[in-house]
Amino acid sequence: MTLSQPPMSPPELSQNLPKLITQSQPPVTEEDMRQAVRTLLLGLGENPDREGLKDTPKRVVKALKFLTSGYHQSLDSLLNGAVFQENTDEMVLVRDIDLFSSCEHHILPILGRAHIAYIPDGKVIGLSKIARICEMYGRRLQVQERLTAQIADALQGLLQPQGVAVVVEATHMCMVMRGVQKPGSWTVTSAVRGTFAEDEKTRQEFMSLIRHSPKFHS
């Protein structure tokens, strides 16, 4: 496991709540996208007009739009005011957050979980919003290293806490279903900011907590 570089100002974060810049109009229409899927089916040697494939272009486009819907979300609308003043400086940890994304190299699934902690400095965030931040960045074409850093930078920018730590553990279908075909392989990435980067004791406390198996899971 490697630790990321010291904190940088994330490009999407403004002074208050950051806004994600997206295209107001896609460069192609949905019909263009369906035709592209139809062309792919033809290239694979299939007949896109047969009964089982007639609606496949429409279904594929709908699925891809959902899986990449994070491009059209912003942190300010996602949070909906769920940042609160709170006089606490103890670690807050949400672990085992299910995470689903898509590899930008092959558009195949990335399946895993995220463990996220921060040490407040006067502000806390609604716990469910931490999971929603993971979803927003996960629902884009990604590499795991960037996804991990984006989650950490978002929390650092929103809360200005004493520190943030993120660990993502995931399996990549581009390694399992094709290529080297290695099922059971997991990739672990981490991003640490502030106290977690500077203080080994704090970092080790976080690492020990995410290794603990919760008793309420079967």
216 contacts: CB under 8 Å, gap ≥ 6: none
- Helices 56-67 and 30-43 cross at an angle (nearest 10°) of 120
172 a catalytic residue? yes
| Three-class DSSP category at 55 | coil
Q: Is 204 noted as a catalytic residue in this protein?
A: no
- For residue 102, count other CB atoms closer than 10 A to its CB: 20
Q: What is the CATH number of the domain that holds 138?
A: 3.30.1130.10
* Closest by CA position to 99, among listed 66, 73, 132, 126: 132
Whether residue 155 is contained in a domain is answered as yes
Q: Tell whether 160 is covered by a domain.
A: yes
To the query of whether residue 104 is one of the catalytic residues in this protein, the response is: yes
Q: Is 108 inside a domain boundary?
A: yes
Q: Which of 104, 135, 145, 205 is catalytic?
A: 104
Query: pLDDT tens, position by position, for the chain (218 residues)?
Result: 444 444 444 444 444 444 444 445 668 999 999 999 999 999 999 999 999 999 999 999 999 999 999 999 999 888 888 999 999 999 999 999 999 999 999 999 999 999 999 999 999 999 999 999 999 999 999 999 999 999 999 999 999 999 999 999 999 999 888 887 778 889 999 999 999 999 999 999 999 999 866 554 44
Containing structural domain, residue 125: 83-211
Q: Let me know if residue 77 belongs to a domain.
A: no
The answer as to whether 36 is a domain residue is: no
Query: Of 73, 142, 144, 162, which one is the catalytic site residue?
Result: 144
Task: Evaluate whether residue 34 is within a structural domain.
Answer: no
* Set 35, 72, 106, 135: catalytic member: 106
* Annotated catalytic residue, options 103, 115, 150, 156: 103
Q: How many domains does the chain have?
A: 1
- 106 is a catalytic site residue: yes
Within a domain: 145? yes
Structural domain contains residue 78: no
Reply yes or no on whether 217 is catalytic. no
212 is catalytic: no
Q: Is 38 exposed, middle or buried (0-12, 13-18, 19+ CB in 10 A)?
A: middle
